[in-house]
Amino acid sequence: QVQLVESGGGLVQAGDSLRLSCAASGRAFSMYAMSWFRQAPGKEREFVARISRGGGKTVYADSLKGRFTISRDNAKNTVYLQMNSLKPEDTAVYYCAARLTIGTSRSDDYEYWGQGTQVTVSS
């Protein structure tokens, strides 16, 4: 199995950028497709972005294309989420998740989750 720890969240102003990191430990990181999800207060968890095991394929939520970028460094066992031009509606707890082999955009498909990191964007 794999353990996931997110970091990099915080309080920023609208228009700022943040880079989230998710460090993995345990079994071979490169075996896992990785995703970011987020959950705002009172809302369901939603898909943000995912990346294939080798990093060659990325998929984004339509509403976030062009502002968010997912990447991974398998040598460092880490996946990143670069968030630019942040908006107040991006405020949420951001979670990374791991799925053995092929990634999907459904949270129910993921076996392993981090504890989440809070991102708050003020207007």
For the chain (123 residues), the mean pLDDT of every run of 10, in chain order, is 95 98 91 97 96 96 94 97 97 97 92 97 96
Output the pLDDT for position 26. Answer: 77
Rounded CA Rg of the chain: 13
Which amino acid belongs to residue 115? Q
Please give the C-alpha separations between residue 36 and each of 4, 45, 48, 123, in angstroms, as whole numbers.
12, 10, 5, 24
Residue bearing tokens 């898909």? 47
Output the pLDDT for position 33. Answer: 97
**C-beta pairs of 105-109 under 8 Å, 24+ apart in sequence:** 105/35, 105/47, 105/50, 105/59, 105/61, 106/47, 107/37, 107/45, 107/47
